[in-house]
Amino acid sequence: MLLAQELIRKKRAGQALDQQEIAALVSGMVDGSITDAQLGAFCMATCFQGMTAAEGAALTLAMRDSGKVLCWDEMDLLGPVVDKHSTGGVGDLVSLVLAPMVAACGGIVPMISGRGLGHTGGTQDKLEAIPGYCTTPDLAHFRRVVKECGMAIIGQTADLAPADKRLYAIRDVTATVDSLPLITASILSKKFAAGLDALVMDIKCGNGAQTPELAQAQALAKNLIDTANAAGLACSALMTDMSQPLAPSVGNALEIHEALRYLRTDSCPQRLHRTVLALGAEMLLLAGLANNPLQAQVYLLDALHSGKAALVFEKSCAALGGPADLLDKFDHYLPRASLRQAVFAPAGVYLSKMDTRALGLLGLQLSSGHRGKPDASTGLSQLAELGQFMDSDTPLAIIHANDADSLALASKNLLAACTFTETATPRPPQLLQNMRGSLHLPASAFSIETV
């Protein structure tokens, strides 16, 4: 029997743990034989000493194997299994539109999403603004929807990577959340449990991201790619800007509304669009569904403008309990706040900087309201962009609230989170860097016309 304290001592001394030792640690996380104190000590030792790629891969796979692992081989799927994961941001609704676009291009997307973390929004929370949508189906139902629709977006279940749930709780209270190996194992264990062939990471960078500095984002991207490749998963990462909200809406129902308008081609916010196309192209390339970035983007644009992607989303939504006519009647189904107010900046200035984290917290404050549970109807819409000229006809944003006190506080906090200048400032680039690993899937034999 391996003693936990000896494994902690070894890691504290900077020595690498082997696969058997890491498996014993993860087994102890799940069965409770390792105490919270021991697990906290292990997290701190890892935070200081780091892990090799082999250790990271062993930890990731052991955490994956702590619960059920989805296998798609026996289901005769018509495409490669591919997914995307974001490190979290504000107004980041990419998953909602990217999954159906990639599915419409022949990919199979079993997306297991998370809830909001800190100031960032969660895809699971957003989907729960849709009446009837079940984000926690049993795994058999999830698999059926994926096979029938080419995609499904749900929340994490207790069956998948349960070791991660305990490890994350300990990291949260021991100031070890930012340990790269532990972040990597947390993310990848759930993705491996989903049975993926390929994964594209969206690493956010800027004052609204978990990794504000580019060097931090690059280090995380490299660690994720190296660990995924060491464990046999094709993986690449894009670093994208989060120095302002990605979409012009912040709030669960408002972001669903924005996503549906995008899928219907009623609206095309350019920073969101560029991010979607870049991530989608990388997914198709990594999965062997396109030969080059230009071809990949042509496929994605066809999926969007032909209406295929919208139909995929609507079919998947209905299969998970949502309205079958959501695309045509989203204004009827999505909750709406009772109060709306446009907030204006001083006329004749340029919006030069946003405190994006503060805007994310503003959205959470609006959502908390006075009802004791999150309010999906509240948030911000028509958000201005950095570098935009502000005049008396152009609101900084429209606030959606359900009580006057929240509305007044949000208006004050919105203005406080923005900086204005009398001269124009350069707009930040949306796509910062693309980092690729050594593994990729061979050119796919699947047809691009499978949907």
| Residue positions annotated with a catalytic role | 83-86, 123, 171, 186, 190-191
Instruction: Name the region of 165 (left: φ>0; alpha: ψ -120 to 50; beta: rest).
Output: alpha
On the 0-12 / 13-18 / 19+ scale of CB atoms within 10 A, 196 is buried
Q: Which residue(s) pair with 379 in the sheet?
A: 400
Tell me the C-alpha distance between 34 and 140, whole Å. 32
What six digits make up the tokens of 5?
């304290």
Concatenating the DSSP letter of every residue in 389-430 gives: EE-TTS-SEEEEESSHHHHHHHHHHHHHTEEEESS--PPPPS
The phi and psi torsions of 200 (rounded to 5 degrees) equal -115, 130
Tallying the residues shown for the chain, one arrives at 451
Query: What residue type is assigned to position 369 of the chain?
Result: G
- What 11-16 contacts at long range (C-beta under 8 Å, 24+ apart), as own/partner pairs, is 11/42, 11/45, 11/46, 11/49, 12/41, 12/45, 12/48, 12/49, 13/49, 14/49, 16/51, 16/52, 16/54, 16/55
Secondary structure (DSSP) of 198-257 = EEEEEEEESTTSSS-SHHHHHHHHHHHHHHHHHTT-EEEEEEEE-SS-SSS-BSHHHHHH
Read off the tokens for 26. Answer: 């993860």
Angle between helices 404-416 and 356-368 (to 10 degrees): 180
Spatial separation of the C-alpha atoms in residues 92 and 77, rounded to whole Å = 29
